[in-house]
Chains A and B, each alone.
Chain A
């Protein structure tokens, strides 16, 4: 048993070491892409906590938006450090998750209906941010007051700092994913995803299990949103909340594979590196070409590879010994 655990952990340690040396050997540009992949990968992982148990939320744009806006707003208008602002934003997202989640689960709003209710939620967040343009800057977005390198303000113009933060946060996200995957709640959640009525009949507290995973997912998503705004030093309602972002989160998690720990991150790699590569290879002459190919690939992914990139790789690996 111990030996088995060692064999699983050894490659992880190697990989962590490999990721840790990245800032010493690459350019700022590569680092910029890597930070985005890690932070978005963290958000996608947070979404997949719910997604893999059949709770397909299109409302994560709302949680992301709250996380991204609350801390810069408190910093700009009250001078409150992000060390307090970010937890406040996360708490607000959790509160919203409870307000929406509790009635949804109590009244058994599932499937299409759950997706569409949460879709409305993300639209409410987007429109509220736009409507409060006096303080949020509306569609033009806003910039947290910059003070240069500062731990107090959590602002680091040098990329390696943020890379380190993003890496730690991402590892934390993977850890939470494993915790949920190995915990006792997993069997219960699987049973609920399979048949909610039957799960309740054998004594599973459907409500509690669903709320727990929803709260965890919302909190991590808001945390990811806060870090994205700290890194970019700019928040914009269209890139951090609303239906577009919600769909982006869902697609990335599904394209990567939401049933494996590294799937959503692979989705992040795919959704951030691919447009970047397409943009570089095609130039900016064809605005939209990269996104068109990206959109077509998404549809193809969902039709032919519903378990995502990592899901396909795992199936290949699992099938390989059988062939010998």
Chain B
């Protein structure tokens, strides 16, 4: 096989890890609270700026800065839920979608106002691993590994802890869980915090590979929604599989054509698949 094609496939798998992490967070929010955070990628952008300032400007060690960013974005998730989502929990789903879409606008403009439109880099370059003739960047490998660990940790949290089980139960039946003595408000807040923390983790991994600027959310926000819908909104395993399918289309499409064409292919694939399997890839 062509060595460059192999490299593209491997990079696709590594990209898939980060996309899967993003899709997991969004699916968790949707599954439990039944809202789509259109501004999810913008929360990641906020996290990337946090790391940039804490590490690149104030000189905090990268690990502590990353940890602070995860906590910070988790806090943003809670704020988003309290200020925007909870007042309109009862209104039409499309209004909730649009309210978070307004937040997308707000966060982008706020970042432009505070930081300008410069591309900023944390100035940390990780080595490149040479594997035969294949070059793999260490930061991508790290991102892939961390995304997998994050996914496993989330799985264990959801299946082993009382809170996680309560979250899954609420996703299945909202009314009955209230009768069972589960405080819905509290579960929603915790879910928002966990969803935010996953966005924060994604920010830590992405900031190693990409420069941060106010509009970076637009470059992976749409693809994350497509992945979630493709896997079946709220279906975490489906989202996980879909992330790798989409990242392969992007990687191989980018190898044969150009990066824009590869995204066009991915979106067209998504539209066509929505018609063939409207309930998602893994629907029965």
Q: Do A and B come from one complex?
A: yes
8 Å CB contacts to A: which residues of B238-284? 258, 260-261, 263-264, 267-268, 270-271, 274-275, 278
By a CB distance below 8 angstroms, the chain B residues around A131 are: 258, 260-261, 264
Binary flags per residue of B164-186, CB closer than 8 Å to A gives 1, else 0: 00000000000000000000000
Chain B CB within 8 A of A251 CB: yes
Partner of A303, one of B99, B110, B112: B99
Chain A CB within 8 A of B123 CB: no
| Docked complex Cα distance between A244 and B101 (Å) | 10
Chain B residues with a Cβ closer than 8 Å to the other chain, count: 48
| Interface pair B106/A299, CB less than 8 Å apart | yes
> Among the interface residues B88, B104, B267, which one has the most CB atoms of the partner chain A within 10 A?
B267
8 Å CB contacts to A: which residues of B97-135? 97-99, 101-114, 116-117
Binary flags per residue of A278-296, CB closer than 8 Å to B gives 1, else 0: 0000000011111110111
8 Å CB contacts to B: which residues of A5-61? 54, 56
Binary flags per residue of A189-230, CB closer than 8 Å to B gives 1, else 0: 000000000000000000000000000000000000000000
| Interface pair A117/B271, CB less than 8 Å apart | yes
| Docked complex Cα distance between A56 and B222 (Å) | 17
By a CB distance below 8 angstroms, the chain A residues around B94 are: 54, 56, 111-112, 115
Shortest beta-carbon distance from B12 to chain A in Å: 18
Partner of A127, one of B102, B113, B226, B264: B264
Instruction: Find the A residue at minimum CB distance from B228.
Output: A116
| Interface pair A124/B112, CB less than 8 Å apart | no
Shortest beta-carbon distance from B105 to chain A in Å: 4
| Docked complex Cα distance between A107 and B218 (Å) | 29
Chain A CB within 8 A of B229 CB: yes
| Interface pair B105/A298, CB less than 8 Å apart | yes
| Docked complex Cα distance between A298 and B117 (Å) | 22
| Docked complex Cα distance between A120 and B116 (Å) | 29
| Docked complex Cα distance between A109 and B275 (Å) | 8
Chain A CB within 8 A of B10 CB: no
| Docked complex Cα distance between A105 and B271 (Å) | 13
By a CB distance below 8 angstroms, the chain A residues around B87 are: 303
Instruction: Find the B residue at minimum CB distance from A121.
Output: B271
| Interface pair B110/A247, CB less than 8 Å apart | no
Shortest beta-carbon distance from A143 to chain B in Å: 22
8 Å CB contacts to A: which residues of B68-116? 84, 87-88, 91-95, 97-99, 101-114, 116
| Interface pair A295/B103, CB less than 8 Å apart | yes
| Interface pair A112/B233, CB less than 8 Å apart | yes
A contacts with B: majority SS: helix
Partner of B229, one of A108, A116, A291: A116
Partner of A112, one of B93, B214, B222, B226: B93
Chain A: interface residue count, which band?
A: 35 or more
| Interface pair A127/B260, CB less than 8 Å apart | yes
Chain A CB within 8 A of B225 CB: yes
| Interface pair A250/B226, CB less than 8 Å apart | no
By a CB distance below 8 angstroms, the chain B residues around A250 are: 98, 101
Chain B CB within 8 A of A103 CB: yes
| Interface pair A243/B36, CB less than 8 Å apart | no
Chain B CB within 8 A of A74 CB: no
Instruction: Find the A residue at minimum CB distance from B277.
Output: A107
Decide yes or no: A306 and B91 within 8 Å by CB, A123-B267, A243-B222, A244-B218 being known contacts: yes
| Docked complex Cα distance between A120 and B263 (Å) | 10
Decide yes or no: A120 and B271 within 8 Å by CB, A115-B94, A299-B99 being known contacts: yes
Shortest beta-carbon distance from A256 to chain B in Å: 14
| Interface pair B102/A298, CB less than 8 Å apart | yes
A–B Cβ pairs within 8 angstroms, 9 of them: A109-B274, A111-B93, A116-B225, A116-B229, A127-B267, A131-B261, A243-B218, A287-B112, A298-B102
**B interface residues, Cβ below 8 angstroms from A:** 36, 84, 87-88, 91-95, 97-99, 101-114, 116-117, 214, 218, 221-222, 225-226, 229, 233, 258, 260-261, 263-264, 267-268, 270-271, 274-275, 278
Q: A107-B275, A303-B87 are in contact. List 19 more A-B contacts (CB 8 A).
A: A56-B97, A109-B275, A112-B94, A124-B271, A127-B261, A127-B264, A243-B221, A247-B101, A250-B101, A251-B98, A288-B110, A289-B109, A294-B105, A295-B103, A295-B107, A298-B102, A299-B84, A299-B103, A302-B102
**A interface residues, Cβ below 8 angstroms from B:** 54, 56, 100, 103-104, 107-109, 111-113, 115-117, 119-121, 123-124, 127-128, 130-131, 243-244, 247, 250-251, 254, 286-292, 294-296, 298-299, 301-303, 306
Closest 10 CB pairs of A and B: A295-B106, A288-B112, A291-B109, A288-B113, A131-B260, A295-B105, A298-B102, A299-B102, A292-B109, A103-B275
